[in-house]
Amino acid sequence: MWRQWLLVGVSLVTSVIVQVTLLSRLGLPGATPDLTLVTVIALAFALGRMAGAASGFVGGMVLALAPPATTTLGLQALVFMAVGFIVGGLIDPRDRTVPITIAIVSGSVAGATFVVAVFDALLGLASVPWNRMGGLLVASALYAAILTPLVIPGIGRLARKLEPVKTTVIGS
């Protein structure tokens, strides 16, 4: 079990570092690819609802504390936690085809982007002008679709390798 939590920690810290130091500086049109949320979704797919919710909260908090933080502290953590919980139990892993996985990830990232923007606006922190929201959501979904085949299979494979060995006691 501790190996899976080590995977969660290393994956989230790595995704935040790559997102903040590399992806945010690429100057891509529309939005910065949200590698951290895609990683949270990958962990939720691999480890289930509760681990997805915990990963979402931790990932959101680490991302909110990393400069340049642009949203209310804890808001991303709550939204990522909800996404991790919902996605972790959304569909049976045997029914997850590549197009369905890409659709779930893209829709989740776009939805989370929208929810964070709505709450920021309600709190008086209009971080994104509403006339650019459509382009932001399309860009977020597109970047998530591109990141999905790069992140989801790798984290899933690592989670399976790090799964605790189940032992049975004979004669008890």
**Range with top average pLDDT, 55-64, 128-137, 161-170:** 55-64
In three state form, how does the secondary structure of the chain look?
CHHHHHHHHHHHHHHHHHHHHCHHHCCCCCCCCCHHHHHHHHHHHHHCHHHHHHHHHHHHHHHHHCCCCCCCCCHHHHHHHHHHHHHHCCCCHHHCCHHHHHHHHHHHHHHHHHHHHHHHHHCCCCCCCHHHHHHHHHHHHHHHHHHHHHHHHHHHHHHHHCCCCCCCCCCC
pLDDT value of position 92: 79
Residues with Cβ within 8 Å of residue 159, at least 6 apart in sequence:
4, 7, 43, 46, 47
Domains of the chain by residue range: 2-161
Whether 167 shows a pLDDT value over 70: the answer reads no
What's the one-letter identity of residue 7? L
Report yes or no on whether pTM surpasses 0.85. yes
How confident is the model over 109-165, as pLDDT tens digits?
999 999 998 998 888 877 677 888 888 899 999 999 999 999 999 999 998 888 766
How confident is the model over 15-41, as pLDDT tens digits?
999 999 999 888 788 788 999 999 999
CATH of 2-161, one of 1.10.1760.20, 3.30.420.40, 3.40.50.2300, 3.20.20.70: 1.10.1760.20
- Give the torsion sign (CA, 6, 8, 9, 13): positive
